[in-house]
């Protein structure tokens, strides 16, 4: 049995269509047919060689939803039910080792030094080769945590739950919001939309989004943003004034940074109330230096800053729950769908920022 995958063999060069012989499964492994594979902003960075974790050659694609084709041995879902052939599934894209200080003493598997991630730090040279979602099939390893998805859900809307959705769930998991909290989100991309959706779901009273794209800001409104501030129409000082006006002069309880761009922290931290929290989630690649006045903006305001690195199964579960509650809304995130073999086109449109979210549909009829 053969598998077709789109492989990154050199940075900045087109992915190449390759055929792989599907190897026999080892104990605990599962062969899964990819129904939808998200094209993440990180994939663009990886394609350009900007992510130091990237081995070559690699089948890209860390966001996937698929259908179980075969299982070697017995496997259970996270909730203890038996996994069956034919099931539609979502999985945690990362595997932690379960043995190290982070996993066992800190109980923070997302900090595991031995963490392996499909489509990110697993190449296609080592057996069993099929380790990314830009592919007809993937082989999920024994230690992958898997959730069952009910039939009828559009697989494309769930792919980001295992990446940007889970990252934002991780961030909110470290925050302490209550009903009536005020939240400001910097950046209306996929991370920002999830940050908006979570804030809305948790009962925030004000959800302000700052961004540079009218379309994306409009999308945030659909997810619950109560105010959107366009960077192109308002100066930084005007945005600041607006935020303090909305919050009765106090500043917001929580800022979520979701851009990864230089200067974002410097603006955002000044929008917090005393005692507020700054969740930084967007810096997945190097972006230079933020200049922080600790006296004025951190110490004298008793501010908490929390960096958020990736996510774990707990957060994938939370994000999946959110998407399943709001399927119609989340379907609006998917701006483009491509067949597998147009993966290069998908990467280009994500790189151009013309797409909000492109998804490959290897198993569908869309050709």
CB of 14 to its own copies, least distance (A): 28
CB of 82 to its own copies, least distance (A): 12
Q: Which of residues 8-37 bind its own copies (CB under 8 A)?
A: none
The nearer residue to its own copies, 325 or 354, going by C-beta atoms, is 325
Chosen residue from 302, 331, 353, 354 binding its own copies by CB under 8 A: 302
Q: List the beta bridge partners of residue 185.
A: 209, 256
The nearer residue to its own copies, 86 or 249, going by C-beta atoms, is 249
CB of 162 to its own copies, least distance (A): 14
| Residue in the block written with tokens 């130091």 | 52
Cα–Cα distance, 155 to 147 (Å, whole number): 13
Q: Which of residues 128-187 bind its own copies (CB under 8 A)?
A: 143, 145, 169, 172-174, 178-180
Residue 273: phi and psi, rounded to 5, are -75, 165
| Residue in the block written with tokens 């979502």 | 90
- Sign of the four-CA dihedral 3, 33, 156, 94: negative
Token representation of residue 57: 């050659």
Chosen residue from 86, 105, 152, 328 binding its own copies by CB under 8 A: 105
Q: Which of residues 203-232 bind its own copies (CB under 8 A)?
A: 203, 205
Residue 248 binds its own copies, judged by CB under 8 A: yes
The nearer residue to its own copies, 301 or 332, going by C-beta atoms, is 301
Size of interface with its own copies, in residues (CB under 8 A): 79
Cα–Cα distance, 136 to 59 (Å, whole number): 11
The nearer residue to its own copies, 199 or 360, going by C-beta atoms, is 199
Q: Which of residues 36-75 bind its own copies (CB under 8 A)?
A: none
Give how far Cα 353 sits from Cα of 13, 29, 333, 335, 349, Å.
19, 37, 13, 11, 6
Query: What is the separation, in whole angstroms, between the first and last Cα of the chain?
Result: 22
In this chain, which stretch among 10-18, 77-85, 334-342, 345-353 interacts with its own copies, using CB under 8 A?
Answer: 77-85
CB of 9 to its own copies, least distance (A): 27
CB of 93 to its own copies, least distance (A): 14
Chosen residue from 70, 127, 306, 327 binding its own copies by CB under 8 A: 306
Yes or no: say if 282 and 187 are a contact pair by the CB < 8 Å rule: yes
CB of 271 to its own copies, least distance (A): 15
**Furthest-apart CA pair in the chain: how many Å?**
65
The nearer residue to its own copies, 39 or 284, going by C-beta atoms, is 284
C-alpha dihedral, 273 to 185 to 248 to 204, nearest 10°: -100
CB-based contacts of 111, cutoff 8 Å, min separation 6: 102, 309
């Amino acid at each position: 049995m053969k598998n077709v995958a789109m492989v990154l063999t050199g940075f900045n060069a087109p992915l190449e269509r390759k055929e792989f012989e599907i190897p026999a499964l080892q104990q605990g492994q599962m062969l899964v047919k990819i129904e939808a594979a998200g094209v993440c902003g990180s994939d663009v960075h990886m394609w350009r060689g900007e992510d130091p974790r990237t081995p070559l050659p690699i089948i890209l694609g860390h966001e996937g939803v698929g259908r179980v084709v075969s299982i070697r041995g017995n496997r259970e879902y996270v909730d203890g039910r038996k996994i069956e052939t034919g099931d539609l599934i979502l999985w945690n894209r990362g595997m932690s080792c379960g043995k190290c200080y982070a996993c066992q003493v800190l109980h923070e598997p997302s900090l595991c030094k031995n963490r392996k991630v499909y489509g990110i730090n697993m190449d296609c040279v080592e057996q069993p080769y099929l380790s990314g979602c830009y592919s007809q099939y993937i082989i999920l390893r024994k230690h992958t945590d898997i959730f069952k998805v009910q039939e009828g859900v559009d697989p494309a809307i769930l792919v980001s739950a295992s990446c940007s959705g889970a990252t934002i769930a991780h961030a909110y998991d470290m925050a302490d919001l209550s009903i009536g909290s005020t939240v400001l989100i910097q950046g209306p991309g996929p991370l920002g939309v999830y940050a908006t959706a979570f804030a809305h779901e948790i009962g925030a009273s004000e959800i302000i989004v700052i961004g540079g794209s009218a379309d994306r800001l409009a999308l945030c409104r659909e997810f619950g943003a109560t105010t959107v501030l366009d960077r192109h129409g308002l100066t930084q000082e005007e945005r600041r004034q607006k935020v303090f006006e909305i919050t009765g002069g106090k500043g917001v309880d929580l800022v979520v940074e979701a851009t990864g761009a230089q200067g974002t922290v410097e603006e955002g931290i000044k929008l917090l109330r005393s005692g507020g929290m700054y969740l930084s989630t967007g810096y997945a690649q190097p972006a230079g230096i933020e200049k922080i006045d600790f006296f004025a903006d951190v110490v004298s305001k008793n501010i908490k800053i929390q960096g958020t690195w990736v996510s774990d199964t707990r957060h994938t579960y939370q994000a999946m729950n959110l998407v399943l509650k709001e399927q119609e809304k989340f379907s609006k995130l998917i701006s483009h769908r491509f067949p597998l073999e147009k993966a290069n086109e998908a990467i280009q449109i994500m790189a151009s920022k013309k797409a909000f979210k492109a998804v490959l549909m290897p198993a569908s009829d869309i050709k």
